[in-house]
Amino acid sequence: MFLVKVQIKLKSTVNDPEGQTILEAMHRLNHKEISSVRTGKYFEIIIDSNDDIEVSEKVKKVCDDILTNPIVETYTYEIIRN
């Protein structure tokens, strides 16, 4: 069994009004040292398999095909064998 942690974030060229709003809230609450907030999505996926290579290919495929919009987002992931 594998646990996969996927982080999806907006490309740096894409505007992030949600992150900007959170940053302004932080400044209002006196966290002035914070200079940037970028928002994204996070997924934890469990895959029942014993084949490391198959899991790696599957994760890449579901990230590309289902979880991410490649026009505006990028992803990173880590695979943990349980």
Count other C-beta atoms under 10 Å from residue 43's C-beta: 15
**21 near a second copy, judged by CB under 8 A:** no
Place of tokens 């959170």: 22
**8 near a second copy, judged by CB under 8 A:** yes
Four-residue CA torsion sign, 32, 35, 41, 47: negative
**22 near a second copy, judged by CB under 8 A:** yes
Of 24, 49, 52, 64, the one binding a second copy by CB under 8 A: 49
Which one-letter amino acid corresponds to residue 4? V
**53 near a second copy, judged by CB under 8 A:** no
Largest Cα–Cα distance of the chain, in whole Å? 50
Q: Which residues here bind a second copy, judged by CB under 8 A?
A: 5, 7-9, 19, 22, 25-26, 29, 31, 33-49, 54, 58, 61-62, 65-67
